Amino acid sequence: MLDISERAPPFTLPDQTGKPVSLQGLLENGPLVLYFYPADFTPGCTREACTIRDLHGELVAARLQVAGISPQGMESHQRFADKYRLPFLLLSDAEKEVIAEYGVNGPLGFGVRRATFLIDQDGIIRDAVLADLRIGQHEDFIRQAIALQA
């Protein structure tokens, strides 16, 4: 996993509508909470996404952008976003290239580790958490990021 103070690797990935989204474009409007998750519709990932959805108003008020990345395709992301009314971008990394660049591949390259990064507008990682099964740590991390921006 990338360390705090490292430059976040640039990327361009399709969102749930097929539109290409770049790290640079996301950072144009403020710092970014970028989270990696294993799969759409799994219990832990659904809980995490819904937690972020419920915090979305506070994220916007703190001028924080948010995006999630997983290996599922755009269609899966669109169904997931629609079903749970997710107001943020879900990016498809089907080849797991960005997942690998951020160092969040699962053991032996299988799966994806649950990780969340706070990236400033200059593209520097300011904080990060890796907590595969402890969804609450990601919520705490995001709440702390909101408090720091307030």
Per the annotation, the verdict on 50 as an active-site residue is no
Rg of the chain over Cα atoms, rounded to whole angstroms, equals: 14
Q: Are 137 and 48 in contact (CB under 8 A)?
A: no
Angle at 21 between CA 15 and CA 43, to 5 degrees: 35
Q: Are 3 and 9 in contact (CB under 8 A)?
A: no
Alpha-carbon dihedral 33, 36, 41, 44, rounded to 10 degrees: -90
Q: Cβ neighbours of residue 108 under 8 Å, at least 6 residues apart?
A: none
Cα-to-chain-centroid distance, residue 75: 18
Residue among 45, 69, 86, 112 flagged as catalytic: 45
Question: What is the set of active-site residues?
Answer: 45
